[in-house]
Amino acid sequence: MSNALDQRKENKMGVMPVKKLIVTMSLPMMISMLVQALYNVVDSIFVAKIGENALTAVTLAFPMQNMMIALAAGTGVGINALLSRSLGERRFDRSDEAANVGIFLTFMNFLLFLLMGIFLSRGFIASQTANEEIINDGTAYLGIVCTLSLGLFCQVTFERLLQSTGRTFFSMISQLTGAIINIIFDPILIFGLLGFPALGVAGAAYATVFGQTVAAFLGLFLNIKYNPDIKIRISQIIKPKGDAIKEIYFVGIPSILMMSIGSLMTYLMNNILIAFSTTATAVFGVYFKLQSFFFMPVFGMNNGLIPVLAYNYGAKKKDRIDEALRFSLVLAVIIMSIGTIVFEAVPGLLLSMFSASEDMLSIGIPAMRIIAIHFPMAACSIVMGSIFQAFSKSIYSLIVSVGRQLIVLIPVAYLLALTGNLNAVWFAFPIAEVISLLLSLIFFKKVYGVTAGLLKGEEAE
């Protein structure tokens, strides 16, 4: 074909040495995810200085906030899979379509949470506590991050477009910029520095959405300027094709549901723990922030791995798929094992960053040590799950997530809570991870075995 689109070169995901490719693709995202984790922690550190109730309020808002991230990231997974596979198949018209339809879906997702922020924020927080101070702070925080969430949705989409075409360095620049702005403005807006009013918990929310909005504009600029593998066209954005939406959400909906299940899990866990004390809930919130220092880099690596697997699946290069999986699994286990060691060795030091009271330390130290047992197992499940997403079998990731978080984790935590022993509740996490790992192994063997056989057959022909 003489069309200019056909002149695009073979993407590096099909030719670069695999280990170098995984590092090149993943390292920028791992760094940006680490910074993301840092600003989540810094956010809570500053909020904790207001008081334990303020920290609890942000913890109770987290499930809804995580729902936004789930919708944005899950849609991004669908865009990522369709775009990367289309590039591997050299169907450039289809890869452009994936990008532009993805931008349309971004605006639709924002409108949904705009309405939820206006009408559901207070009821959501009040369903978890009767403490009026916590309800007011939580409502203020959640209302702001929902109604001003366009920056979040656009940031995630534009970063996914860069990731899908192998330009993870630019994705890192976008995410780093948003995170750094958030970190800078957190103390300024929370405590009223440099002439700004002291906004308390609301200040943390405004700092977050400001950082996301700046990152979104930067991501758009980087795609237009430095991403020749896709062409952003307003005509395709405002007139999206139904078949592209269907294909994006065929992969994306299981991912959205999988991540949304995490929101439901945290919501239910908050309700289980707050029956013991608001401090127990605050400890759970602190754990979620701290564990992100190790989970986020692994997810960053996974985000770099998925387009590599999808591209080479489209290009029918089985050896590159095998090598990418082996290398990523070793790297993920090393990262998560370091996390386990840190949580076991210095849990008190970690908690002290959040102005922890003696009560919080007495609850939090055993909690950190018990939960961290499962980190290396989680690493294996995450890497195996990349195959499900890259090969458009995300339904298996959904089944694993449902099994871990809803069928096992919450019921086990509830039953252990009936003993009246808070420390027993934390054992629900490693118990659930064992089930998750077993399910992941079963589905991985099924999906990868069939795919390997198909690729071998095509190579033989």
Is the model's pLDDT at 36 over the cut of 80? no
Q: Which has more pLDDT, 455 or 167?
A: 167
Quote the pLDDT of residue 460: 46
pTM over 0.75? The answer is: yes
Q: Percent of the chain at pLDDT above 70?
A: 94
DSSP for 239-285 reads S--HHHHHHHHHHHHHHHHHHHHHHHHHHHHHHHHHTT-HHHHHHHH
Q: What is the pLDDT of residue 94?
A: 84
Q: Residues with Cβ < 8 Å from 397, sequence gap 6 or more?
A: 254, 255, 258, 385, 388, 389
pLDDT at 461 over 70: no
Name the average pLDDT for the chain: 88
Q: What is the mean pLDDT of residues 360-368?
A: 97
Q: What is the pLDDT of residues 177-212, one digit of tens each?
A: 998 899 999 999 999 999 999 999 999 999 999 999
Angle (deg, nearest 10), helices 410-417 and 242-274: 10
279-330: per-residue pLDDT in tens? Answer: 999 999 999 889 988 998 888 888 788 888 888 877 777 888 888 888 999 9
Q: For 93-148, write each residue's pLDDT tens digit.
A: 888 898 999 999 999 999 999 999 999 999 999 999 999 999 999 999 999 999 99
DSSP state at residue 407: I
Buried b / exposed e along 273-292 (16+ C-beta atoms within 10 A): bbebebbbbbbbbbbbbbbb
Q: Which residue has the higher pLDDT, 37 or 191?
A: 191
